[in-house]
Amino acid sequence: MIIQKEYKFYAAHRNETLKDKCSNLHGHRYGVRCFFEVERDGEISTLFGEFDSRMEPWIKEYYDHGMLINVNDPLYESLQEHCRRTGEQLKMKLFNGPTSVENLAWMLFTEVTDMGFRLAQLEIRETDTSVISYTREDWIRDNRLFASLRSPGAATP
Protein backbone atom coordinates (compact mmCIF):
# COMPACT_ATOMS: atom_id res chain seq x y z
CA MET A 1 0.00 0.00 0.00
CA ILE A 2 1.20 3.52 -0.73
CA ILE A 3 0.56 6.63 1.38
CA GLN A 4 1.23 9.93 -0.37
CA LYS A 5 2.29 12.92 1.72
CA GLU A 6 3.19 16.39 0.51
CA TYR A 7 5.71 18.80 1.99
CA LYS A 8 7.20 22.05 0.77
CA PHE A 9 10.06 24.42 1.44
CA TYR A 10 11.42 27.68 0.10
CA ALA A 11 15.10 27.83 -0.79
CA ALA A 12 17.65 29.75 -2.79
CA HIS A 13 20.00 28.06 -5.22
CA ARG A 14 21.78 28.43 -8.49
CA ASN A 15 23.17 25.95 -10.96
CA GLU A 16 26.58 27.36 -11.85
CA THR A 17 27.19 24.54 -14.35
CA LEU A 18 24.33 25.73 -16.59
CA LYS A 19 25.48 28.78 -18.48
CA ASP A 20 22.06 30.40 -18.63
CA LYS A 21 19.54 32.08 -16.29
CA CYS A 22 19.87 29.13 -13.89
CA SER A 23 23.39 30.28 -12.92
CA ASN A 24 21.84 33.39 -11.31
CA LEU A 25 21.08 33.10 -7.62
CA HIS A 26 17.30 32.62 -7.41
CA GLY A 27 14.67 30.89 -5.32
CA HIS A 28 11.99 28.24 -5.61
CA ARG A 29 9.07 26.90 -3.69
CA TYR A 30 10.07 23.24 -3.78
CA GLY A 31 7.25 20.72 -3.53
CA VAL A 32 8.11 17.28 -2.17
CA ARG A 33 5.57 14.49 -2.66
CA CYS A 34 6.51 11.26 -0.90
CA PHE A 35 5.11 7.86 -1.85
CA PHE A 36 5.59 5.80 1.32
CA GLU A 37 5.30 2.01 1.12
CA VAL A 38 3.37 0.78 4.15
CA GLU A 39 1.90 -2.48 5.50
CA ARG A 40 -1.60 -2.62 6.96
CA ASP A 41 -1.56 -3.80 10.57
CA GLY A 42 -5.20 -4.16 11.59
CA GLU A 43 -7.37 -1.09 10.98
CA ILE A 44 -4.60 1.18 9.76
CA SER A 45 -0.99 1.12 8.57
CA THR A 46 1.31 4.00 9.52
CA LEU A 47 -0.32 7.09 11.04
CA PHE A 48 -0.04 10.16 8.78
CA GLY A 49 1.31 12.01 11.81
CA GLU A 50 4.26 9.62 12.08
CA PHE A 51 5.50 10.83 8.70
CA ASP A 52 4.85 14.49 9.54
CA SER A 53 6.58 14.36 12.91
CA ARG A 54 9.83 13.28 11.22
CA MET A 55 9.58 15.03 7.86
CA GLU A 56 8.40 18.50 8.87
CA PRO A 57 11.12 19.29 11.47
CA TRP A 58 13.79 17.90 9.11
CA ILE A 59 12.71 20.03 6.19
CA LYS A 60 12.36 23.07 8.43
CA GLU A 61 15.81 22.63 9.98
CA TYR A 62 17.87 21.75 6.89
CA TYR A 63 16.04 23.14 3.87
CA ASP A 64 13.41 25.80 4.52
CA HIS A 65 14.56 29.38 3.91
CA GLY A 66 18.07 28.09 3.32
CA MET A 67 20.38 27.92 0.34
CA LEU A 68 21.21 24.79 -1.65
CA ILE A 69 24.86 25.13 -2.61
CA ASN A 70 27.48 23.03 -4.40
CA VAL A 71 30.68 22.94 -2.32
CA ASN A 72 32.60 23.14 -5.63
CA ASP A 73 30.84 26.39 -6.61
CA PRO A 74 33.22 29.38 -6.07
CA LEU A 75 30.25 31.18 -4.50
CA TYR A 76 30.44 28.74 -1.57
CA GLU A 77 33.94 29.98 -0.68
CA SER A 78 32.68 33.58 -0.77
CA LEU A 79 29.73 32.74 1.47
CA GLN A 80 32.02 31.01 3.96
CA GLU A 81 34.26 34.09 3.95
CA HIS A 82 31.18 36.28 4.56
CA CYS A 83 30.19 34.11 7.54
CA ARG A 84 33.72 34.24 8.98
CA ARG A 85 33.88 38.03 8.58
CA THR A 86 30.45 38.91 9.92
CA GLY A 87 29.78 36.06 12.34
CA GLU A 88 26.51 35.40 10.49
CA GLN A 89 25.37 31.81 10.24
CA LEU A 90 23.72 31.31 6.87
CA LYS A 91 21.67 28.17 6.45
CA MET A 92 23.35 26.24 3.65
CA LYS A 93 22.48 22.75 2.48
CA LEU A 94 25.68 21.33 1.01
CA PHE A 95 25.83 19.35 -2.23
CA ASN A 96 28.94 17.65 -3.64
CA GLY A 97 27.71 18.48 -7.12
CA PRO A 98 25.28 20.81 -8.88
CA THR A 99 22.09 21.66 -6.99
CA SER A 100 19.97 20.08 -9.71
CA VAL A 101 16.57 18.73 -8.83
CA GLU A 102 17.97 15.26 -9.67
CA ASN A 103 20.66 15.60 -6.97
CA LEU A 104 18.10 17.04 -4.56
CA ALA A 105 15.89 13.99 -5.18
CA TRP A 106 18.81 11.65 -4.42
CA MET A 107 19.61 13.54 -1.24
CA LEU A 108 16.03 13.61 0.04
CA PHE A 109 15.44 9.96 -0.87
CA THR A 110 18.56 9.01 1.13
CA GLU A 111 17.56 11.11 4.13
CA VAL A 112 13.97 9.84 4.22
CA THR A 113 15.26 6.26 3.97
CA ASP A 114 17.68 6.95 6.84
CA MET A 115 14.66 8.05 8.92
CA GLY A 116 13.42 4.47 8.64
CA PHE A 117 10.69 5.00 6.02
CA ARG A 118 10.48 3.00 2.81
CA LEU A 119 9.90 5.17 -0.24
CA ALA A 120 8.59 3.82 -3.52
CA GLN A 121 9.00 7.21 -5.21
CA LEU A 122 9.52 10.92 -4.69
CA GLU A 123 8.17 13.72 -6.81
CA ILE A 124 10.01 17.02 -6.60
CA ARG A 125 8.45 20.14 -8.05
CA GLU A 126 10.90 22.94 -8.78
CA THR A 127 8.75 25.28 -10.87
CA ASP A 128 5.09 25.58 -11.88
CA THR A 129 5.81 23.50 -14.97
CA SER A 130 8.67 21.17 -13.91
CA VAL A 131 8.33 18.12 -11.70
CA ILE A 132 10.58 15.08 -11.56
CA SER A 133 9.49 11.61 -10.53
CA TYR A 134 12.32 9.75 -8.82
CA THR A 135 11.75 6.07 -8.13
CA ARG A 136 13.44 3.57 -5.82
CA GLU A 137 15.07 2.11 -8.96
CA ASP A 138 16.50 5.56 -9.84
CA TRP A 139 17.90 5.85 -6.31
CA ILE A 140 19.52 2.39 -6.45
CA ARG A 141 21.01 3.22 -9.85
CA ASP A 142 22.36 6.57 -8.58
CA ASN A 143 23.87 4.92 -5.50
CA ARG A 144 25.74 2.50 -7.78
CA LEU A 145 26.85 5.37 -10.01
CA PHE A 146 28.10 7.51 -7.10
CA ALA A 147 29.86 4.50 -5.55
CA SER A 148 31.67 3.83 -8.83
CA LEU A 149 32.67 7.50 -9.10
CA ARG A 150 33.65 7.45 -5.40
CA SER A 151 32.01 10.86 -5.19
CA PRO A 152 28.37 11.16 -4.18
CA GLY A 153 26.18 13.60 -6.06
CA ALA A 154 25.24 15.32 -2.89
CA ALA A 155 26.63 15.65 0.62
CA THR A 156 24.65 14.70 3.69
CA PRO A 157 24.04 17.52 6.18
Is residue 129 at the binding interface for ligand LPXRUNBV, with CB under 6 A as the rule? Answer: yes
Compute the least distance from the CB of residue 24 to ligand LPXRUNBV, in Å. 9
Is residue 128 at the binding interface for ligand LPXRUNBV, with CB under 6 A as the rule? Answer: yes
Which lies closer to ligand LPXRUNBV via its Cβ, residue 12 or residue 71? Answer: 12
Is residue 138 at the binding interface for ligand LPXRUNBV, with CB under 6 A as the rule? Answer: no
Is residue 41 at the binding interface for ligand LPXRUNBV, with CB under 6 A as the rule? Answer: no
Cβ pair 107, 9 in contact under 8 A: no
How far apart CA 25 and CA 7 sit, in angstroms, is 23
Compute the least distance from the CB of residue 124 to ligand LPXRUNBV, in Å. 9
Window 57 to 116, contacts with ligand LPXRUNBV (CB under 6 A): 100-102
Q: Give me the residues that bind ligand LPXRUNBV (CB under 6 A), please.
A: 15, 22, 100-102, 126-130
